[in-house]
Chains A and B, each alone.
Chain A
């Protein structure tokens, strides 16, 4: 049916309508009318368009047609051929004169087509008042016999034994029905393409308008197949099998009822008896007619969708109101609950299905978590142990080991931070101890401790410095910042040495400007734009530039100052008495998108441009490899993720392979700006400070990626089969990820990974790599607290007895003084030796994977050797 045809209203009939549209008050009189093309017409009672046969798996072979219920002249004229619902015997006698038919669109002449369309669009429950006669569809009991072409059929209702009904569901995009004849054959499945069927769309809309209820009579989402069952019910007995709820029996005998109706309840949903050759997409124990549990629940629930959703995953039930008020519920779901305009639901339902699956999971976990604050994490980690991964040995994974005392997960506040330092402002506990606390607890977001702690985490300050040293250091860095900033400022105003340079800097400036104005504008600090430019002498000043504020201007200045710092001095500028960069390794990155995202949280915390600038320089030491032209850092990390997923979750990996998704491109954004687009602002800050500790690994952010993937592995494996679907799904996780849980999973994954590598090494009877790159962690041997990471004992003992933990740490603390610098020269010296060991291990554990056990920051310089020359491109970047 075309849209033009659909828009023509069937009622009242126009004078120019098809000659079949003969107005006829007498129900029984139709058979007297004859017309030219056929000797005898049948009365079209109901029809529905866009019902397809799918002869091959390829969508391009689908054949659109009409399903219809027609009435032929009954042999002995019954005095009342209108059905009488209370009279089942009447129905029985009618069954032979009513035919269920399917005809391909292509086989219909234009006037026939228009009759089918009109009946289809007829608004109302009963057959049209005026009679539409059509040529009788070819009567055939099996589709091979049909003269009109394969697949078309019409069957007297009396010869239909049952109809197998499969509503649309996650696995079955189109709902379908299969007619089983009394002779024992099954006709081809008819698929209802509801989204193309004008009448179904109208019926859905009408339902939504009238009753705010888009669901069908049985509480299921309304679809085209419902209509067919409704038609049939007017003329014959239709009974839903209790043994096979997807089977509707037509005029069942007592025997049928016994055999099929009530008889075999125990087998419910276990297997298909009628169409053994009909493969279901979801073969693992479907609970209903071809539906997965979620969809089934969705359909049964009507307005209690969410309440039921939590049941789906067998977690606690919560009322819809509770959920509606919960700010963690994604807006789309909240809209479903709060918005009385069901239209929205109807329209969004299809696309919402997948997301509902995800949210069901999230909601369930959330309520579970609220119920048992402490236990969930441990169990969760154990669950994730079981879900994914192979049969390699899992050590030390008992719940106890993973459950830290509350005191360890509390944020470090300013008071606790200050207690780490002595009167001279020198650290008096071990670095690892501080890092362990921050890794697990984070820093208090309110009391300003971040301002103090972040420069240490980013290694702007040495951990063994005194207050005085830090003060002096920052003073000199402030001067340096002012000089750097002055250099480009002057150049912008006086002009650069060459036109090329001039052009380059202008270009950089405009890129920075563009991005800063779209960076974190939802944060109050950066939101305002009513202030005219604070400094008309600034190179960024433009009378008709966009509204700005002083903080945005600071971001721009810092980013250009970073370029000044990062760009090698050009020989041609030597004449100008400009500041020469003291940066020993300028990388000449230019401004690259993502930089503004990395800078803005630093500035927001410090609110001091010089400190924020040097913090950014420090942060960029580990991030710059992602921004270089060759993208070497991104490539290396995506490839490491590939290996990591292979080793941690081979099943998922195979699925991703089949989905052509092992480029792991969907992690690109997460890796480039360290999850800033996935988490809320406050969570981002919390995550970054954990990552900066390098507590387990300098590459812990990769475990965050795997944790996110693992959390959604079931949805991905069950529902997503293509790269674009997976990319979209992962992109849309943004704003829905629970940080604490992901941190916890990532920790579990890291430990599992570590154990795997150890096990592999042991199997290969390697000599234990001695220290250096590979951190061995065997808590059992660590009882004496010597020669080991204090962090390990903190975790191992932290579970049962908090006081012993404290004692343990403080003893380590004294031993540890002065705190050992993280990149000890000894470590570098070991590097060669470790490399040798790695070489031998390569067959099993790649160097990339082994690097994940290292706490040493990977910088661009490390990877420079491997830099692939970027393909030449006309795009200047």
Chain B
């Protein structure tokens, strides 16, 4: 058996305001949906411990404000991301059309080592509103994701809890793969081996 460690995976959720970023995150972590979320201001995150292929990992899901002008100040939480989730509302063409911008924005701010292979996952949310309200067909979304380096795509409903679990499983898996592919430098700066409170995985957040 290989030794296993607890891993913290940082996932950034981006997308236009009102597409359901907070709702998706809450549905996944707390199994709750509320129509009375307030617009996210600043940034916040939730954590969830999950098992990916037998490994226990802690997902740290970052929720941000959806208005572009608020992004420039929040560089701090982009750094060290392991996966980026792009969310749009299938009933809003605008929110789909901005996905590229969010993607670019992320790559600029987070500047991952290898932007080409950095994992993105796309979620088309609010499918519960019905086909007659839908503006972006699944086909179109799939084609888009295919073009952009085969980003995994899920159509979700945070409200009805459709596909949320599945989507985040893939997100966790891709984040873990990304984390593992990155070599981290030795963190042996502290010679005292039991100085646990220095340790990253111990945090209660």
Interface residues of A (CB under 8 A from B): 2-3, 54-60, 62-64, 105-106, 108, 113, 171-174, 176, 189, 191, 193, 195-196, 278-279, 281, 350-351, 353-354, 507, 511, 514-515, 518-519, 521-522, 592-594, 596-597, 627-629, 631, 634-635, 638, 660, 663, 665-666, 668-669, 672-673, 677, 721-725, 727-728, 731, 870-871, 873-877
When the two chains form their complex, are residues B73 and A631 in contact, meaning their CB atoms are under 8 A apart?
Answer: yes
- Closest chain-A Cβ to B125's Cβ sits at a distance in Å of 14
Closest B residue to A54 by CB, please name it.
Answer: B193
A285 to chain B: closest CB distance in Å?
A: 17
Q: Can you spell out 25 A-B residue pairs with CB atoms less than 8 angstroms apart?
A: A54-B194, A54-B196, A55-B193, A57-B187, A57-B189, A57-B191, A62-B3, A63-B3, A64-B3, A171-B196, A173-B204, A193-B6, A196-B56, A511-B18, A518-B38, A593-B39, A597-B39, A677-B41, A723-B76, A723-B77, A724-B203, A725-B205, A727-B44, A870-B69, A874-B105
Interface residues of B in 151-195 (CB under 8 A from A): 186-195
How far does the alpha carbon of A144 sit from the alpha carbon of B165 in the complex, in Å? Answer: 47
Q: A54-B196, A195-B49, A725-B205 are in contact. List 14 more A-B contacts (CB 8 A).
A: A57-B192, A59-B6, A64-B4, A351-B204, A511-B17, A514-B17, A515-B18, A593-B67, A631-B70, A723-B77, A725-B204, A728-B45, A870-B72, A873-B71
- Complex contact A631–B69 (CB within 8 A): yes
**CA distance in complex: A876, B69 (Å):** 9
Q: Chain A residues near B28 (CB, 8 Å)? A: none
A636: shortest Cβ distance to chain B, in Å?
12
Interface core residue of B45, B72, B77, B94 (most chain A CB under 10 Å): B72
Q: Which residues of B contact A172 (CB under 8 A)?
A: 196-197
Which A residues touch B203, using CB under 8 A? 721-722, 724-725
Chain A residues with Cβ below 8 Å from B17 are: 511, 514-515, 593
* Binding stretch for chain A, among B95-103, B111-119, B137-145: B95-103
Interface majority SS on B: helix, strand, loop or mixed? loop
Q: Judging by beta carbons under 8 Å apart, are A593 and B70 in contact?
A: yes
Interface size (B, Cβ < 8 Å)? 61
A874 B200 Cβ-Cβ under 8 A: no
Q: Nearest chain B CB to A705's CB is how many angstroms away?
A: 13
Contacts of A627 in B (CB 8 A): 69
Task: List A contacts of B56 (CB < 8 A).
Answer: 195-196
**A525 → chain B, closest Cβ, in Å?**
15
Contacting residue for A663 out of B69, B76, B187, CB 8 A: B76
**Known A57-B187, A57-B188: A592·B42 in contact at CB below 8 Å:** no
- A2-B54 in contact (CB<8A): yes
Chain A neighbourhood of B42, CB < 8 A = 665-666, 668-669, 672, 731
**Residues A56 and B188 in contact, CB atoms below 8 Å apart:** yes
Given contacts A173-B196, A724-B60, contact A731 B201 (CB under 8 A): no
Most buried by A among B37, B196, B202: B196
Please tell me if the beta carbons of A731 and B44 are within 8 angstroms of each other in the complex: yes
Which 4 residue pairs are nearest across A and B when measured between Cβ atoms?
A173-B202, A874-B101, A875-B68, A668-B42
Tell whether B90 is near chain A: CB-to-CB under 8 Å: no
- The reply to whether B2 and A106 form a contact with Cβ atoms under 8 Å apart is yes
State whether A727 touches B197 (Cβ < 8 A). no
Chain A proximity of B33: nearest CB distance (Å): 13
Q: How far is the CB of B91 from chain A (nearest CB, A)?
A: 11
A3 near B54: Cβ-Cβ < 8 Å: yes
B8 to chain A, nearest CB (A): 9
State A351–B41 Cα separation when bound (angstroms).
24
Question: Which residues of B have CB within 8 Å of A189?
Answer: 194
A665/B197 in contact, CB under 8 A: no
A104 nearest in chain B by CB position: B3
Docked CA distance A507–B68 (Å)? 14
Inter-chain contacts of B205 with A (CB < 8 A): 724-725, 728
State in angstroms the CA–CA spacing of A673 and B200 once bound together.
Answer: 33
Q: Please tell me if B30 contacts chain A, counting CB pairs below 8 Å.
A: no
Q: Roughly how many angstroms separate A873 CA and B109 CA in the complex, as a whole number?
A: 11
| Residue of A58, A521, A522 touching B187 (CB-CB under 8 A) | A58
> In the complex where A511-B17, A673-B41 touch, is A634 in contact with B73 (Cβ < 8 A)?
yes
Tell me which residues across on chain A come within 8 A of B76, comparing CB atoms.
660, 663, 665, 723
Closest-CB distance, B4 to chain A (whole angstroms): 6
Residues of A close to B36: CB separation below 8 A: 518, 521-522
For the complex, what is the distance from the CA of A871 to the CA of B109, rounded to whole Å?
11
Q: Is B43 an interface residue (CB 8 A)?
A: yes
Please measure, in the bound complex, the distance between the C-alpha atom of A531 and the C-alpha atom of B123, giving whole angstroms: 33
Across the interface, which residues of B come within 8 angstroms of A62, CB to CB? 3, 5
Contact, CB under 8 Å: B65 / A593: yes
B41 A669 Cβ-Cβ under 8 A: yes
- Picked from B186, B190, B204, the residue with its CB within 8 Å of the CB of A353 is B204
B104 within 8 A of A: yes
Residue in chain B with minimal CB distance to A57: B190
- Asked if B69 and A59 make an inter-chain contact with CB atoms under 8 angstroms apart, the answer reads no
Which of A56, A350, A629 lies at the interface centre, i.e. has the most chain B CB atoms within 10 A of its CB? A56
B196 touches A873 (CB 8 A): no
Contact, CB under 8 Å: B192 / A279: yes
Q: Which residues of chain B are near A507, meaning CB under 8 Å?
A: 94
Contact of A665 among B4, B43, B188, B198 (CB under 8 A): B43
CA A356 to CA B182, docked complex, whole Å: 37
> Closest CB of chain B to A566's CB: distance in Å?
15
Closest to B191 in A: A57
Q: Determine the chain A residues whose CB is within 8 A of the CB of B200 once the complex forms.
A: 59, 722
A877 touching B69, Cβ below 8 Å: yes
Chain A residues contacting B18 (CB-CB under 8 Å) are 511, 514-515
Asked if A677 meets B45 with Cβ closer than 8 Å, knowing A62-B5, A281-B195, the reply is no
Which chain B positions have C-beta within 8 A of A515? 17-18, 39
**Of all chain A residues, which has the CB nearest B101?**
A874
Q: Is the CB of B60 within 8 A of A350?
A: no
- Closest beta carbon of chain B to A629's beta carbon, Å: 5
Asked if A665 and B41 sit within 8 Å, CB to CB, the answer is no
Closest-CB distance, B92 to chain A (whole angstroms) = 8
For B37, B104, B203, the residue with the greatest tally of chain A CB atoms inside 10 Å of its CB is B203
Q: Is B74 an interface position by the 8 A CB rule?
A: yes
Q: Closest Cβ of chain B: how far from A81's Cβ, in Å?
A: 32
Asked if B204 contacts A281 (CB within 8 A), the reply is: no
Among B37, B43, B94, B188, which residue has its beta carbon within 8 angstroms of that of A58? B188
Is B196 in contact with A174, judged by CB distance below 8 angstroms? yes
- Quote the shortest CB–CB distance from A130 to chain B (angstroms): 24
What residue in chain B is nearest A519 (Cβ atoms)? Answer: B38
Residue pair B194, A278 in contact (C-beta under 8 Å): yes
The interface residues of chain A lying within 8 Å CB-to-CB of B102 are 875
Considering the chains assembled together, what is the distance between the CA atoms of A592 and B6 in angstroms?
A: 40
Q: In angstroms, how far is the closest chain A Cβ from the Cβ of B88?
A: 13
* Proximity bits, B23-48, A CB within 8 Å = 1, else 0: 00000000000001111011111000
Question: What are the residues of chain A within 8 A of B1 when measuring CB–CB?
Answer: 2, 64, 105-106, 108, 113
A727 touches B3 (CB 8 A): no
B105 near A873 (CB under 8 angstroms)?
Answer: yes
Is A877 touching B199 in the complex (CB atoms < 8 A)?
Answer: no
Residues in B neighbouring A59, C-beta threshold 8 A:
5-6, 199-201
CA distance A278 to B68 in the complex (A): 50
**Closest CB in chain A relative to B200 CB, distance in Å:** 7
Q: State the Cβ distance, A578 to closest chain B Cβ, in Å.
A: 26
Contact of B150 with A by CB under 8 A: no
Asked if B51 is at the interface (CB within 8 A of a chain A CB), the reply is: yes
Q: A668 near B73 (CB under 8 angstroms)?
A: yes
Report the minimum CB–CB distance from B38 to chain A (whole Å). Answer: 5
Q: Which of A3, A193, A353, A873 contacts B68 (CB 8 A)?
A: A873
For A351, list chain B residues within 8 Å (CB). Answer: 204
Interface residues of B in 46-86 (CB under 8 A from A): 49, 51, 54, 56, 60, 65-74, 76-77
- How many Å from the CB of B56 to the closest CB on chain A? 6
B194 and A592 form a contact (CB under 8 A) = no
Which A residues are in CB contact (< 8 Å) with B190?
A: 57
Q: Could you tell me the distance in whole angstroms from the C-beta of A815 to the nearest C-beta in chain B?
A: 45
Q: Are B3 and A873 in contact (CB under 8 A)?
A: no
Q: Cβ of A176 and Cβ of B194 under 8 Å apart?
A: yes
Say whether B204 contacts A105, CB under 8 Å. Answer: no
